Amino acid sequence: MPVSPQSKLTLICVLVTILLDMLGYGIILPVLPQLIKQLTGGGLAEAAVIGGWLVFAYSLMQFMFGPGLGNLSDRFGRRPIILIALAGLTIDYTIMGFANSLVLLFIGHTIAGISGASVATATAYIADITSKEKRAQRFGLIGAAVGLGFIIGPVVGGLLGELGPRWPFYAAAILAASNLLFGFFVLPESLALDKRRKFNIRRANPFGALWSLSRNPLVLWLLAALGLFLLASQSFPSVWNFFTIEVLNFSSSQIGIALGAFGLGFALSQALLISPVIKLIGEWPTVLLGMGAATIALVGTAFIHSEIALYGFLVFGSLAGLAGPAINSLMSRQVPDDAQGELQGAINATNSLAAILGPLLATQLFRFFTQAEKDAPGYFPGAPFLGAGILVVAAALVFIYTVRRFDLSHRPSVAKTAHVHETAQPGQQQMPPHEGK
């Protein structure tokens, strides 16, 4: 029997859905190279190239389909979109577990990319059931759920991988199916019928979603700052293992422990620190605090030569988790209730675009500065992290410009629904009424 949308149990249900979703994805990471090698008969280098294209396909699908699912959730509600996405993940992991060719592996990962947009819809769900003042804290809980999934998943996947490279995929399929049943019987709908709007195909593609946000310059500028920050964040998952092997001669277990420690710190910062920090200094200073911590972590990591220094900068890196939920909350409070799905779809598209471009940029920089290219100025394996630090500085400058231009320190939130916009004061930047309302 579904619970009330305003019940605390509902929040727990959504967070469990996200946790299990990320746990299922994390489980397959340790054994994916082994499965690729088994299917191709090639070596690790070839498997890495194919793995990169799998990430590209996954991220591209999230970029293309995220806004569409967000818009569909604004029209038909959050619950059916979340359930459809979970069904897609169940199918994906099953296909990949039984795949006997690379074609099936790519088909499965493509389905996973499309279905992975459920996190954006779940974020819109939480925005529906949360007051504007508490959204930053609850967006932080989403980040914590994602982080915990990535901490636990690889560990479980590595242990299951001892039985064979396909066992983690079977486990992920079972988790996704259990999550689907859990949501079907427990999760209520969060978006009331009077807050829904007609589906518009022009806004259901990633560029259409961004175009619709262009009519709200404040949100668009905030999204630009977030996009630069997300692009910089891709350096860690893209080259971390290569960098630590090159500089510190890390083993695979040391790499996993370091990533687990970072993920745990990142999750704790979003779950425990975001609310008191925002209460103490406010939302936009919290964004700058997170970006400042990220800059220190990235630039410092680029020049490390010891394991102690590495872990020291990982502490600063975990504090970077403060920036995302705070800037997401700022954007969420500037759009009406019937556009939360569209906003989260656009954010998901921005994140996916960063995931498409970031790994390519980071790995190319690492290769260029470690392979003695004749045009390279010198040997510098930390180049991807230094470049990422520069990107975070650029993101902070864009954000500071936005804060000053739109006077965010004194700016009120928009009205709850689009039809209230008629009473907006002249010069107040708000989303225009949606078609069909």
Specify whether the CB–CB gap between 299 and 384 falls below 8 A. no
Q: Which pLDDT tens digit goes with each residue over 11-28? A: 877 887 777 777 766 677
Q: What single-letter amino acid sits at 105? A: L
User: What CA–CA distances, in Å, run from 203 to 61, 114, 212?
Assistant: 17, 17, 7
Specify whether the CB–CB gap between 167 and 156 falls below 8 A. no
The predicted structure's pLDDT at residue 415: 40
Specify whether the CB–CB gap between 418 and 433 falls below 8 A. yes
User: What CA–CA distances, in Å, run from 274 to 103, 229, 233, 280?
Assistant: 43, 17, 19, 10
Degrees, nearest 5: CA angle 223-261-363: 55
**CATH classification (class only), 1-189:** mainly alpha
d(CA 219, CA 204): 18
The predicted structure's pLDDT at residue 143: 73
Q: For the chain, what is the radius of gyration of the CA atoms? A: 21
Domain ranges of the chain: 1-189, 203-411
d(CA 68, CA 61): 11
Helix axes 135-160, 323-332, angle to 10 degrees: 130
The predicted structure's pLDDT at residue 256: 64
Specify whether the CB–CB gap between 18 and 148 falls below 8 A. no
The predicted structure's pLDDT at residue 426: 29
Within 8 A by CB and 6+ apart from 395, the residues are 225, 226, 227, 228, 229, 232, 291
CATH topology of domain 203-411: Growth Hormone; Chain: A; (1.20.1250)
The predicted structure's pLDDT at residue 3: 54
Write 312-319 long-range contacts (CB < 8 A, 24+).
314/258, 314/261, 314/262, 314/265, 315/265, 317/236, 317/262, 317/265, 317/266, 317/293, 318/262, 318/264, 318/265, 318/266, 318/268, 318/269, 319/269, 319/273, 319/289, 319/290, 319/293, 319/294
The predicted structure's pLDDT at residue 118: 65
> What parts of the chain have a pLDDT lower than 50?
1, 44-45, 413-437
Specify whether the CB–CB gap between 115 and 55 falls below 8 A. no
Predicted TM-score (pTM) of this structure: 0.66
- Do domains 1-189 and 203-411 share one topology? The answer is yes
The predicted structure's pLDDT at residue 86: 84
